[in-house]
Amino acid sequence: MGSGIAHVAAAAGHSTLIYDSNQAAAGKAIESIGKISARSVEKGKVSQEESDGMIARLSAAKSLNDLSGCDLIIEAIVENLEIKQKIFSDLEKIVKPECILASNTSSLSVTSIASICKHSERVAGMHFFNPATLMPLVEIVPGIQTHSETVRIIRDYTIQWGKSPVVAKDTPGFIVNRIARPFYGESIRILEEQWKGIPSGEIGMATIDWAIKELGGFRMGPFELMDLIGNDINYTVTETVWKQMYFDSRYRPSITQKRLFEAGRFGKKSGRGYYNYAEGAVIPEPIRDRELGGQIFSRVLTLLINEAVDAYYLHIATRDDIDLAMTKGVNYPKGLLRWCDELGADVILGNLNSLRIDYAEERYRPSPLLQRMVKENSKFYKAEEWHHLKN
């Protein structure tokens, strides 16, 4: 992720330093960026001159002291609060007063990271999505100490870099990792149950993946995507959000996730995850039953929309930033709040109430805003905005 961010900054014309505690890693990162850029030249995506200029703007820092003249530093190290606080404390002693310190954390509290700094007003979250060179979304996350000018400057940088910035409240998971939890969690839950005759194992996974892609228009199914992201990462983010939300059952990890994590089945990078990626492994065929697939997709989408509605209700982000985040950050086929309007808040509320009756779990509690919308017959988007979208 760090090398990807450096690639983006250098390609946009900024002199960029890469620092790693393992000095060889910084050099390898520049070498890797060079190879990626060379392939882009071969494909005609950038000119040789542009590639050469970008590489010339990259250099490896030998120590943290080399970063003293930077205007913006983006930390992209391990998701561990104490380690991040240590690096921010060290950086603050080195950099100039106007330097902005940003963390690429995906789930930790920016307020906690900033609390170690004497000038915490210049610290913010700057969460990129993988791969940083291709994914347009950047979540800007101010801590409660962060100055509005810090947010403005970071926003300007992201726009200069050709990215789509959104501003998220400093809450567990921010926008995307909070709202997207049911995409994985509810799909695993369906697989674990004796539900509608879906088999367990790879055929069940393939059926759920097929339903989400075929009937929902998603580019990847949940099990395919978890294997691509890495089940170690997905489980850790899920567990982190769950703990930080005071063990709210809506975000609880599953035993299935934990067992894969314990077994080292991290997905494609380890050769085995939910699916087997070994050479010669048979690709499972899904049960292509459109009625069954529709029920699977409806259940997962219902939980996703409820999370998006609740995020808006709790001022996690604006309406437009929530929908932009989910389309630009995880490639959802449409914004979830727009999807809510399209299907009808009454339909989503009815689905949730049915699930809550069946399971008697808080996991399926509707957002208060969803209930209010049904009573008031209100929508997120006005008629003229829908007309504009259609045209």
Let me know whether 46 and 138 are in one domain. Answer: yes
Ranges assigned E (strand) in 203-306: none
CATH number of the domain that 365 lies in?
1.10.1040.50
Residue that terminates a domain, selected from 135, 153, 174: 174
Look at the pTM and tell me if it is higher than 0.85. Answer: yes
Let me know whether 27 and 161 are in one domain. Answer: yes
Please indicate whether residue 234 is annotated as part of the active site.
Answer: no
Let me know whether 193 and 165 are in one domain. Answer: no
In the structure encoding, which two tokens stand for residue 83, read together? 């380690």
Task: Report the alpha-carbon distance of residue 103 to residue 88 in Å, rounded.
Answer: 9
End-to-end, the C-alpha distance of the chain in Å comes to 37
Q: Comparing C-alpha atoms, which of 183, 182, 155 is closest to residue 168?
A: 155
Quote the domain boundaries for residue 359. Answer: 298-390
Q: Comparing C-alpha atoms, which of 330, 218, 219, 230 is closest to residue 277?
A: 230
Which run of H or E residues covers position 345? helix 345-359
Q: What is the DSSP letter of 217?
A: -
Please indicate whether residue 139 is annotated as part of the active site.
Answer: yes
Let me know whether 130 and 7 are in one domain. Answer: yes
In the structure encoding, which two tokens stand for residue 319, read together? 């309406």
Give the pLDDT of residue 391: 42
Give the pLDDT of residue 390: 47
Assess contact for 51 and 41: CB atoms under 8 A.
yes
Query: Which amino acid type is present at position 144?
Result: I
Residue that terminates a domain, selected from 262, 291, 320: 291
Task: Report the alpha-carbon distance of residue 273 to residue 390 in Å, rounded.
Answer: 40
Residue that terminates a domain, selected from 258, 291, 324: 291
> Catalytic: which of 51, 103, 104, 106?
106
> Catalytic: which of 3, 109, 127, 306?
127
In the structure encoding, which two tokens stand for residue 236, read together? 């850790």
Helix crossing, 201-216 with 222-229: angle to 10°?
Answer: 110
Please indicate whether residue 127 is annotated as part of the active site.
Answer: yes
Give the pLDDT of residue 135: 95
CATH number of the domain that 105 lies in?
3.40.50.720
Angular region, 344: left φ>0, alpha ψ -120 to 50, beta rest: left
Q: What is the DSSP string of 363-385?
A: GGPPPHHHHHHHHHT--SS-HHH
In the structure encoding, which two tokens stand for residue 294, read together? 């529709």
Spatial CB neighbours of 220, under 8 Å, sequence gap ≥ 6? 209, 213, 228, 331
Collapsing DSSP to helix, strand or coil, 173 comes out as coil
Task: Report the alpha-carbon distance of residue 197 to residue 204 in Å, rounded.
Answer: 9
Let me know whether 148 and 224 are in one domain. Answer: no
Mean pLDDT by 10 residues, the chain (391 residues): 96 96 92 95 94 96 96 95 96 96 94 97 96 96 98 98 98 96 97 90 96 97 95 92 94 96 96 95 93 97 98 98 97 97 98 96 96 96 67 42
Give the pLDDT of residue 46: 92
Instruction: List phi, psi (to 5°) of 18.
Output: -115, 125
Let me know whether 269 and 193 are in one domain. Answer: yes
For residue 251, the Cα-to-chain-centroid distance in whole angstroms is 15
Task: Report the alpha-carbon distance of residue 289 to residue 93 in Å, rounded.
Answer: 61
Let me know whether 214 and 343 are in one domain. Answer: no
Let me know whether 155 and 200 are in one domain. Answer: no
Let me know whether 46 and 65 are in one domain. Answer: yes
Q: What is the DSSP letter of 284?
A: P
Spatial CB neighbours of 240, under 8 Å, sequence gap ≥ 6? 79, 107, 108, 172
Let me know whether 15 and 145 are in one domain. Answer: yes
Assess contact for 84 and 103: CB atoms under 8 A.
yes
Give the pLDDT of residue 163: 97
Give the pLDDT of residue 387: 54
Query: Which amino acid type is present at position 17?
Result: L
Please indicate whether residue 106 is annotated as part of the active site.
Answer: yes
Counting the structural domains of the chain, the total is 3
Let me know whether 49 and 162 are in one domain. Answer: yes
> Catalytic: which of 75, 92, 139, 224?
139
In the structure encoding, which two tokens stand for residue 387, read together? 């007309």
> Catalytic: which of 103, 104, 107, 177?
177
Let me know whether 168 and 305 are in one domain. Answer: no
